[in-house]
Structures are given as C-alpha cells and as structure tokens.
Chain A
Amino acid sequence: MKKLFTYWPYLIIILFGLTPLLWFYKKGDVLINGIDTNFPLDPEVWFMRRFYVWNSVANGGLDFSSSTAGLFFHLIQVIPYKLGFNLQQVQMISLVFWFFLIVLGAFLFARVVFTKKPLVQLLFVSLYSFNIYLFNSWENVKVANLSLMAAIPFALMLLVLLRQKAITISLAILFSVSVGIILSGAGINPAYFISFFIIISFYILAEIVSNFNKQFIISRLRHLLVICIPLLLVNLFWVLPTFFFISHQISSSGSIDKIGFTNWIDSLSENTSILNVLRLQGAWDWYPVDTQTNTPYYIPYASNYFYKLPFILFSLLLPLLALLSLLKYENKNRHLYVAFGAMLVIGVFLGAGTHLPTGAVFRFLLDHLPFFTLFRSPWYIFTPLTVMAIAGLVSLLFYNLNRARTSGSKIFLLFSLVVSLLTVTIIIGNFFYSYPLISGKIFRPGRPDSFYVQFPDYVIQSKDRLINASEGRIVSYPDREMENFEWGYRGIETVLQLLVDRETLFLPLNMPDSPVASILEEFYLNLKKGEITAAESLAGKLNIGLVFNKKDQVAVSYKLDYLSEDYLSFQSGKWVFYKFPDLGFTPKIFTTDKIFFSYPYNSELPFFSALKSTDLVLNPYDNIVREIVDIDKVSGSVVLAQNSQVVNFLDYKKTDSHLSNRLLSRDLSEVIFTVEFNEDQVYQPILERYRLEDFGVDITKGIEIEINNQKHFWAIQDIDDSSVYFYPVFFPKGTYQIKIKIVNKNLVEYGSFNGEIGFTKGGEGKGEGLYETVETKEQSSSEEMEKFLSITNINKADIAAIFKLSSFNPMSDYYFEANYKQVYGNHAQILITQWDQDKLLKVGKETMPNYPNWRVFSFYYDPVRAKSDLFIELTAPYIKDPLGTTVLFDDIKAYKVFSNKLVFVNKNNSAILSTPQVTFKKISPTLYEAEIKDADKPHLIVFSENYSPFWQLSLYDEKGLKLPINPLHFSANLYANAWYLENTPQSYKIKISYYPQELFLLGIKIAAVTVVFLLILTLVISIRQRRYKV
C-alpha cells in the first residue's frame, strides 16, 4: 500500500501509455490502416525497403533517401512480427510503444521541471500527450509527427539535467544517441527534423536571454552541442543522402512545385486562423462541411468542437491559463516562461502558415528564404511548439500556485486543496476533451471512411502468387487516383505495396504531372478504348507485365471488357491478374536500335502508342543526346500533328470561364491537323483508329484529305485495333495543314423542334410549367415557318425540357450549341447531367446572359469516363416574380469532338546501331548487374526506371576489371534512363547503381561507429568513476 502511495504516478503513466489497446477493444480482427497510415501486411518487406535510398516499387521508382529514416519505426514492427505475433498484435505493440514513449518522455521532462509535484507532472503529461494535434498524428500514424513529439521532451529533459549538473556529459551523450534514434522517424519529412532543432534552440536561447552572462552562454551552447552532435551522427544514414538529394535536385525557391509535388500550403492554411491554431484546431480536414446537413465531411467528431459549448470553452480555457501563467512568473524558472512563451509565439505564427494577418510574413519567408517552401504543411510541422508551450505554461501556473502554500494555516490548506482539485479537474477535463483519441473515435469506426479494416483472406493469399507471378511491373486498375475497396481499405497508393515487393504503377495523387503518370494515363485510355496494340506498346515503355484488376474497388470506371480470359494470369478472390502484354513484357534493361526524336517532347502529350514497345523516344533538344556523333543519321522521328478540334477544346478548358468563348458557333464538320517537318523526309501518317466510323471515315478505303488546300488521297497500308497506317508520303521541310472532312452528326434528336417532340418535361419543378412549340419566321432563312420551344415557369422550382443524348460515348468530349432568347424572368440555363442509372456522376451548368433577341450559345463538356447516359436540360429557372420566367430555345445541337491523333513516323534512318544481348539481375533497388554480349557496334542501353542523374553505369570486362568508359547518360521515353556506349568490348559486364546509396552506407557506418564508440566510452567512464569512488 505504501509502495502504491509512492509510485501511483508511475502506474498512471503506464495506464496512459496503454491507451492504444482501447482502440482495438471490441473491434474484432481489424487493422488500423488506409490513406496515409500504411501499416504493412508484411512488416519485413517494409523494413527491408528502408535500407535503400531508391524505392523502385511505385511508378518507376523515386528517391527514397528521407524514407530510410523510418528504419527504427519499422524495426519496432518487424521484431514482434518475426517473433510470431499476428499482424494485429504487431500493430498494437507498435502503437503502444510510441504512445508510451511520448507519455514517458513528457513525464520524465515534467519530473525534472516541476519537481515534487506529481499532480502537476501528470497535468503536463496529460496536456502534452492527449491533445487535438495528436488526433491527426495518430489517425494516420504519422511517423514523423510521433517521433518528433516523442523526442522533444527527452531532449529538453537532458538539457535541464545538464544545467542542473544532475547528469554527466558522457551519459548525456549516450542518452542523446537514444533520443536521436527516437527522432530518426522525423526525417521522413525533414521539415519535422528541423522543427526539433528549432524547439531545442529556442529553449536554449530562452535560457541565455534569461541569464545573459558569458560563462553561462558558453556552458549552455556546449550542452546544446552535446545533445545535437551525437543526435545528428546517428541520423547521418538518412541525413547524408537526403541533403545530397535536396541540394542537387531541389531548387531553393519554389522547391515543392519544382520537384512536381502539389504545393497545398494555401489550402492547408485556409482555417489556420490564430484563434484555431491557439486551440490546436488547425487541421484542414476538420473544416470541409456538408452545406446541407452542416456536418463535417471527414471528421465526424469535429462538430462537437465547433458547436458544443463545453468543448468550445475548454478549447479556450487552456490558452487562457497559459496566458495567466505569464502574469506572475517565478524568477527561478524565468527561463521556462521565456522559452514556453517564445515557443507559443513562434508555434502559432508558423503554424498559421499563410493565413492572414501573420500569413503575410510567412509568405515573405516562402518567397525569400531558401528551401522554406519545403514547409508545405506548416500547422502539422510547427504545432508541437504550441503543444509544448501550452502544456508547459499551464503546468507552470499550477506549479506556481501549488508552491504558494507556504504556511500550514487553514486558508492555505484550503487553497492548496482547491488548486489540487483544479489540477485534477483539468486533467480529467482534458481526457473528456480528447475523447476521440482515447476511445479510438479518431479512426472513425462504423463509417465508410473508417480506418478499421478487416482484410479479406484473398488479399493475404494473393501474396505468394504475386511473388511467383510473371515479371514486369503491375499496373492497377481501375485507374482512380485513390483506392477505395468495398471491404473498407482506402489508400492513395496501391495496396499491393503493403503486401509484396513487386514494382507497381498507379496514378499518383502527389505527382499527377510526372512523366510516368502521363504515359500511364494514356495507357489506361488505350485499355478503356480497346486499343490493345497501343496499350501493349506503352506497356513496353513502362515495363508492364501484369494488369491488376481490382473487382472489389468502388469505382465508376469502365470494366476491363477488352482483356479476355486469354490474358488471365491468376485470380485470388475479387483480385484478377492479367498477363499483359500477353506475348511477354519488355525487360527493365534492354537495348534497341530504333530511336526516334519526338516532336513535341513533353509529358503532356505522350503519343508513343504508334511506335513499337522497344522503340526508344528521345528528346531532340537534349544537349547530351546531341553529343552523340551522327545522332541524326541513326534516329528516326515521330511528329504529332496538332488537332484543331482538340486545340479549340483545350483552349476553352484552360481559359477562364467567360462569355466571349461561348457566344459563338463552331464548325465541327472538319478537322485540321497542323504539322511542321524540320527536314525533307518520307513520313508514314498513322491515324488513331478509335471510332473513326462514327465520323463517317471509311477505314477500308483510305481517306480523302486536303494538304494546304490541295486534294490528296491517303491509301491504307495496314490497320490494327489502335491505328490506321497509311502508305508513307514524302513531305518537303515546312508546315502543313491537313484537312479531313468528317460527318459529325448532331446527337440531339428533334432539337430543332420542327418535327416530333424529342424531350421530356422535368427539372426540380417536375416539369410543371408551360411548354410550347411555337411557329415563327423570325428564325427562318426561307419563307417556311420554323418552330422553337418556349418554356414558361411560374412554378416555385426550376423546370426543364430534357433531351437524352443518342449514342453517348463517355470516352469522347462533347460540344453543345443552342439558340436561345430570354423573354422575361430569370436567366436561361442549360444543364448537362451524366447519370450511371440513378447515380449522378457529373453536372455541367451554363447560365446564359440576359438577352432579349435570338442568340447562339455554345460550350464544351468533358464527361466522367464511365458507362453512363447524358442528358441536356434546357432550363427555365424559378423566379420570385409572379410573372415567372419565359425562355425560348431552338436548334439544340450536340457533337462529338474529333480527338483522334494523327502521327507521322519517319523510320528511314533507323537500324544502324547494334542490339547486343542483355541479361540482367536486380541485386537491390539501387543496384543492377548485367551481362552484355555481341556488342560489335555502338549501342544503347535503356534502363526503365525514373531518370536521375545519380544513376551510374559502370563497365567491367569479363574478368571483372573496371573499364575506363564513361558513357553518355540521358533521359528517354520521357522518364527512363539511357546510356550510349561505343568502343566497348564485344562482351562485358555492367553495374547500374544509384550513387546516394553510397552516402546511406557511409552514414549508417558512422552511426554504428558512434553508437559503439559511445557505449564503450560510457562503460569506461562509469568503471573509472566506480573505481574512483571505491
């Protein structure tokens, strides 16, 4: 009992640390997984990935330097996994470990700062470890946030102990190594790692300004170094390659945008007002609200914090207490007041991001401070400062009040009791306030977007089959940017990454404009259109070997109808894997003699489907490529003609919505392809085949065209499922306009209102209005009477005349045109609605300007690429005016945009290079070894992994001696690496390696040596001290 009385705070700390167990209570056999959480279904695979600074698993690979920082985090998962615990137990152990670490760190720090006041210590632990900021960190098990939050109090504790001389320097160094290991996870986002140094630097700075004398300053700076240097040394394994990557690959200004990542700082800062940041309520996902029900979209419990008075009051109480603590500061602890006060100010300022008024300064820093844009999620990165500050200041207030008990009089005893009661009340209140964190509500149980996921057996069972399935990358389908399975898992990357170490392809949410994403998008389009030959060609460029059809994904995408059972590789439950291309995949390392300069060469317009899978596409403006002697003689060219209808459509889409591009009529009965040839050459025109028949193009005969207004006929040489190949044509150097007349049918039946009625009455007002087809001469060019539609709406809701588009094809874009006249009332509107049976997929709404004469109005519409129906709703909107709305419509037209591509391929100069035999082996994600045979002439080696200047190719003779050849290295196929080799032996070996891996290895050696050295040093010192004492 006596022990219980002494150690009760420890018991409470242990209970605090076990909080994650509550998250699984009565939840069944689930894992917390999805979106950013990424709990691996094979922890060993994930752990092993952390030993390489290149991750080849996703989308052609990417630099993984900073992610190696997750080594320790994943070690905590892999140990219990290897010990035989099941996945749920592994996750529990991992979560408890990190929760306990945060709680323990806070407690140990509190013990050295708020000495002999266990209640105040618990108050600090409660405020630091259970707060709104951590909701998001735990919800997504964000390694960087958790590591930072765990490491901060440990580091501050060491600094306090050093100041108090309660710890020796050698022991402090040893402990700082441990803190470094805990902190290492923060390196996954180096901004968090920097945030750590900002925090401890502020602490030291506060001490210095509170006690400004030379000796003290030197002593404290020495202490700072004692903590920082070992901490840095153990983190060198990721620091070296990461900073190498940042310094070489990232621009100091506009860093995030320039590396292709979405810079979402402004949208993240939308709700980070000072009021919200001070209350720790700055997470963006709290604020999107369903306007009809006024409930939050993503965070169900957020409405409690928005609207319920007790929650609002508690959120404001903590900053109030923090401010109150500053009113009466204890001189002995004045450095703590300055430190926490400064942390509060800096934390709030930085956490608010670009939100005004402080956002103006933050934006200035973004624009002028090198690399500052890397802090693209400021609230998440800097709020640990605010958390520490508020917890510290509130605890200081109660610490001060507790110490005010100086005599044993009744009043003081009563005062003491009241203060203790208040402390307990705030601790308990904080638990109620943080109830989602304790109860597991942060994981949204019972909702469709819940993080509790029960993985079906077939997912786990597919693992072994995937390991043994055919080689090549696995491309996921449907192609939505986010995965959303009917059994609950949602992810921004492919779920396969959690399971196996296979290379995968999917549309990346983070880098939507990357070259691989562009080629992949084209590949998906080919698959949906049934252009299998084109898809196979692109599959070769992307090293695709399997198509992963997720039949359990909730998506509106097309079903993969064109991949028949012949392609089937294997099936596991609702997961179907197709071998694609069926004749085998193009290896990741290969050689080719067919090279083509591409005009244009940019990732917005990948059009390589007209080429063979191993044909190599090069950038004609690449200076390194131009260093190859006689490159023009060994290369062909592929030229994409500009399609006038596509250009008009894209212009319309890209320009801001305004009337000038709507108040006109466009002619879609012809398409003009503009093409420029740089030299006199013979080119083969290749026209995309997709649904040419819909436009009246007879592909059995050939087509009549006009080239610069002169009539020509292109005869057909060959046809496949993707392209129509015409006989080659000689074009002298110059620019050409090639006009093709097409039959573009109006897809709206009876849209002129002269014949039958082709519409149904509808709209919100259920068509309760006056619909009349009126005869007039006003619209007619001849003597004959014309009819138009008049809609009068005196109802209290919008009414419409609805046309269903005949033969709607969602893979095409559409152009709509109508004549209209507004008689009185509200503005006329046209709604384009796309429905998948009773599910609305998309609405396009156009409001016409108020105009009393007949006027043409036109616009484009790009549908959701899913099987569906399209409706045109000519709307007479509701108006309060008792006369209602009367609008007139006539000549409703809908045309498909002719978007087929026309490509010119010149193959004349190809086939001069040699194509030696290549056999290769992937040793690791950063090292490939290959043997090259029969290399009798200059040749190319292509490596289908994302281009990086740090990929190095070294040559060795057959005895293994390095050859002094430095091949030219350049990008190819928009994303891949290629080397041009000449003067090589006929047979030789190569190694393709990623240079930053050497830095990782160097860093890990230094880290290991540091740990071993410090252990020995501490051991020696402690032995000496014991001897000395003896």
Chain B
Amino acid sequence: MKQSIDKLRFNLNDQLQNWAQEKVLGIFIFTIVLVLLLLLYSAGYFAPYIPLTINLIVVMAIILSIILLQLNSKFIFSTAIFFWVLTILFMIFNIDVWAERAAIYSFETLIIGIILLVIEINFSSPGKQDE
C-alpha cells in the first residue's frame, strides 16, 4: 500500500515537474501578472474608473491560465466544481457572504469552461470527433 502511494506520489511529482518545465515561461508570466494585479488592487489603482476587484482578478486568472498554461476545459470545470464545493462548505457553516462569492466564481469559471469546451470541440481532431 505504502509502495503504491509512493509510486503515485512520484508519478505525480514527475508529471508536475515535466508540466512545469514545459510551461515555465507561462507560469512565470501568470504569476507575475497575478501578483501585479493583486498589488494594484490593494493599492486601489484605476479606481474609480476601472473597478479592479478580486472578482475581476479571478476571471483574469482563469483566462490567463488558459492562454499561458494551456489548461483544458476539464481543468476549468474542475475549478468551477472546486468553487462550488467551497460554496457548499460555506453554506454548511452559515458563512453566506463567502458562499455567495464562491458561487459567483464558480459561475464565472463555468462560463469560461463552456466557451473553452466549444473551442475544444471545434478544434479537436476529426478522428476524436467521430468517436
């Protein structure tokens, strides 16, 4: 059992390492942009002309993750599910405001996921389409 877990861990580690090496530039830009956006947000930049909110940053992060990290729709839907699970947890603990916020993130992620799904379906190989 322990061996299996170790194997799984190493495999995961390997896969993550390979993926990180492939996307190192994307990860770098993604992180920089995200940090920058958070700094601008905390300093209140662009207000009141452009409302740079956490909501907007989350949306931008998801879009950037698709462009820079080439994440697929499954990952985006997983993120939507993650946010929805957060919503459930917040609801259980009666933290309604956070639950609402998590639901909004989940919905925004879902929108992006659906658009990405449509793109993937149209740009996937014909062979796959005919499965």
Q: Please judge, given known A-B contacts A275-B99, A323-B80, A326-B117, whether A209 and B110 are in contact too, CB under 8 Å.
A: no
Set of chain B residues within 8 Å of A342, measured between Cβ atoms: 114
Q: How far is the CA of A358 from the CA of B108 in the complex (A)?
A: 10
Q: How far is the CA of A733 from the CA of B131 in the complex (A)?
A: 90
Q: Does B111 contact A (CB under 8 A)?
A: yes
Is B110 touching A341 in the complex (CB atoms < 8 A)? yes
Q: How far is the CA of A12 from the CA of B73 in the complex (A)?
A: 38
Shortest B52–chain A CB gap in Å is 14
Chain A CB within 10 Å, residue with most, of B55, B107, B111, B131 = B107
Q: Does A316 contact B (CB under 8 A)?
A: yes
Q: Does A127 contact B (CB under 8 A)?
A: no
Shortest B30–chain A CB gap in Å is 23
Q: Please judge, given known A-B contacts A275-B100, A323-B77, A327-B77, whether A341 and B117 are in contact too, CB under 8 Å.
A: yes
0/1 string, B81-103, CB within 8 A of A gives 1: 10011011001100000011001
Q: How far is the CA of A312 from the CA of B88 in the complex (A)?
A: 9
Shortest A672–chain B CB gap in Å is 48
Shortest A523–chain B CB gap in Å is 49
Q: Which of B16-24, B63-71, B121-129 contacts A (4 or more CB under 8 A)?
A: B121-129
Q: A212-B122, A327-B74, A331-B128 are in contact. List 6 more A-B contacts (CB 8 A).
A: A211-B129, A313-B92, A316-B88, A327-B77, A337-B117, A341-B117
0/1 string, B43-86, CB within 8 A of A gives 1: 00000000000010000000000000000011001101100110
Set of chain A residues within 8 Å of B122, measured between Cβ atoms: 209-210, 212
Is B110 touching A344 in the complex (CB atoms < 8 A)? yes
Interchain CB contact (< 8 A) of A210 among B78, B87, B92, B118: B118
Is A357 touching B114 in the complex (CB atoms < 8 A)? no
Q: Does A701 contact B (CB under 8 A)?
A: no
Nearest neighbor of A324 in chain B, beta-carbon distance: B81
Is A312 touching B91 in the complex (CB atoms < 8 A)? yes
Nearest neighbor of A307 in chain B, beta-carbon distance: B94
Q: Please judge, given known A-B contacts A275-B99, A332-B131, whether A313 and B55 are in contact too, CB under 8 Å.
A: no
Shortest A615–chain B CB gap in Å is 58
Interchain CB contact (< 8 A) of B88 among A209, A320, A327, A332: A320
Set of chain A residues within 8 Å of B78, measured between Cβ atoms: 327
A-B complex: 8 closest residue pairs judged by Cβ atoms:
A275-B103, A341-B114, A331-B131, A326-B77, A274-B107, A316-B88, A323-B81, A275-B100
Shortest B102–chain A CB gap in Å is 8
Is A313 touching B88 in the complex (CB atoms < 8 A)? yes
Q: Does B104 contact A (CB under 8 A)?
A: yes
Is A274 touching B104 in the complex (CB atoms < 8 A)? yes
Nearest neighbor of B80 in chain A, beta-carbon distance: A323
Q: Please judge, given known A-B contacts A273-B100, A341-B110, whether A320 and B131 are in contact too, CB under 8 Å.
A: no
Chain B CB within 10 Å, residue with most, of A212, A312, A319 = A319
Q: How far is the CA of A887 from the CA of B45 in the complex (A)?
A: 49
Is A326 touching B113 in the complex (CB atoms < 8 A)? yes
Q: How far is the CA of A786 from the CA of B107 in the complex (A)?
A: 70
Set of chain A residues within 8 Å of B113, measured between Cβ atoms: 326, 341
Is A278 touching B88 in the complex (CB atoms < 8 A)? no
Q: Which residues of A come within 8 Å of B, CB atoms?
A: 209-212, 273-275, 278, 309, 312-313, 316, 319-320, 323-324, 326-329, 331-332, 334, 337-338, 341-342, 344-345, 348, 357-358
Set of chain A residues within 8 Å of B129, measured between Cβ atoms: 211, 331
Shortest A255–chain B CB gap in Å is 28
Nearest neighbor of A348 in chain B, beta-carbon distance: B107
Shortest A315–chain B CB gap in Å is 9
Q: How far is the CA of A338 from the CA of B80 in the complex (A)?
A: 16
Shortest A404–chain B CB gap in Å is 15
User: Number of residues in B with C-beta < 8 Å to the partner?
Assistant: 30
Q: Which residues of B come within 8 Å of A, CB atoms?
A: 55, 73-74, 77-78, 80-81, 84-85, 87-88, 91-92, 99-100, 103-104, 106-107, 110-111, 113-114, 117-118, 121-122, 128-129, 131
Q: How far is the CA of A342 from the CA of B111 in the complex (A)?
A: 8
Set of chain B residues within 8 Å of A316, measured between Cβ atoms: 84, 87-88, 91
Shortest B55–chain A CB gap in Å is 6
Q: Is the interface of A mostly helix, strand, loop or mixed?
A: helix
Set of chain A residues within 8 Å of B55, measured between Cβ atoms: 357
Is B81 touching A210 in the complex (CB atoms < 8 A)? no
Is B110 touching A323 in the complex (CB atoms < 8 A)? yes
Interchain CB contact (< 8 A) of A209 among B92, B100, B121: B121
Set of chain B residues within 8 Å of A341, measured between Cβ atoms: 110, 113-114, 117
Interchain CB contact (< 8 A) of A320 among B85, B99, B117, B118: B85
Q: How far is the CA of A137 from the CA of B129 in the complex (A)?
A: 41
Q: List 5 A-B contacts (CB under 8 A).
A: A209-B121, A323-B84, A326-B77, A331-B131, A358-B107
Nearest neighbor of A334 in chain B, beta-carbon distance: B121
Set of chain A residues within 8 Å of B87, measured between Cβ atoms: 275, 316
Interchain CB contact (< 8 A) of B114 among A273, A274, A345: A345
Q: How far is the CA of A102 from the CA of B121 in the complex (A)?
A: 32
Interchain CB contact (< 8 A) of A338 among B88, B110, B118: B118
Q: How far is the CA of A275 from the CA of B95 in the complex (A)?
A: 13
Shortest A63–chain B CB gap in Å is 39
Q: How far is the CA of A278 from the CA of B110 in the complex (A)?
A: 12
Set of chain A residues within 8 Å of B99, measured between Cβ atoms: 275
Q: How far is the CA of A334 from the CA of B107 in the complex (A)?
A: 20
Nearest neighbor of B120 in chain A, beta-carbon distance: A334
Nearest neighbor of B78 in chain A, beta-carbon distance: A327
Q: How far is the CA of A328 from the CA of B77 in the complex (A)?
A: 10
Is B104 touching A357 in the complex (CB atoms < 8 A)? yes
Nearest neighbor of A275 in chain B, beta-carbon distance: B103
Shortest A345–chain B CB gap in Å is 5
Shortest B95–chain A CB gap in Å is 12
Shortest B129–chain A CB gap in Å is 7
Shortest A328–chain B CB gap in Å is 8
Set of chain B residues within 8 Å of A278, measured between Cβ atoms: 103, 107
Set of chain B residues within 8 Å of A320, measured between Cβ atoms: 81, 84-85, 88
Set of chain B residues within 8 Å of A348, measured between Cβ atoms: 107
Shortest A531–chain B CB gap in Å is 54
Shortest A348–chain B CB gap in Å is 6
Set of chain B residues within 8 Å of A332, measured between Cβ atoms: 131
Interchain CB contact (< 8 A) of B117 among A275, A313, A319, A338: A338
Nearest neighbor of B53 in chain A, beta-carbon distance: A357
Is A274 touching B100 in the complex (CB atoms < 8 A)? yes
Chain B CB within 10 Å, residue with most, of A327, A348, A358 = A327
Set of chain B residues within 8 Å of A331, measured between Cβ atoms: 128-129, 131
Set of chain A residues within 8 Å of B107, measured between Cβ atoms: 274, 278, 345, 348, 358
Set of chain B residues within 8 Å of A309, measured between Cβ atoms: 92
Set of chain B residues within 8 Å of A210, measured between Cβ atoms: 118, 121-122
Q: How far is the CA of A146 from the CA of B113 in the complex (A)?
A: 32
Nearest neighbor of A278 in chain B, beta-carbon distance: B103
Set of chain B residues within 8 Å of A326, measured between Cβ atoms: 73, 77, 80, 113, 117
Q: How far is the CA of A407 from the CA of B72 in the complex (A)?
A: 30
Q: How far is the CA of A21 from the CA of B121 in the complex (A)?
A: 47
Q: How far is the CA of A505 from the CA of B114 in the complex (A)?
A: 52
Set of chain A residues within 8 Å of B121, measured between Cβ atoms: 209-210, 334, 338
Shortest B97–chain A CB gap in Å is 10
Shortest B49–chain A CB gap in Å is 15
Set of chain B residues within 8 Å of A313, measured between Cβ atoms: 88, 92
Set of chain B residues within 8 Å of A312, measured between Cβ atoms: 91-92
Is A338 touching B114 in the complex (CB atoms < 8 A)? yes
Q: How far is the CA of A326 from the CA of B113 in the complex (A)?
A: 9
Shortest B125–chain A CB gap in Å is 11
Q: How far is the CA of A313 from the CA of B122 in the complex (A)?
A: 36
Set of chain A residues within 8 Å of B91, measured between Cβ atoms: 312, 316
Q: How far is the CA of A312 from the CA of B91 in the complex (A)?
A: 8
Shortest B16–chain A CB gap in Å is 20
Set of chain B residues within 8 Å of A275, measured between Cβ atoms: 87, 99-100, 103-104
Shortest B65–chain A CB gap in Å is 17
Q: How far is the CA of A209 from the CA of B123 in the complex (A)?
A: 11
Q: How far is the CA of A1 from the CA of B93 in the complex (A)?
A: 50
Q: How far is the CA of A323 from the CA of B113 in the complex (A)?
A: 10
Set of chain B residues within 8 Å of A334, measured between Cβ atoms: 121
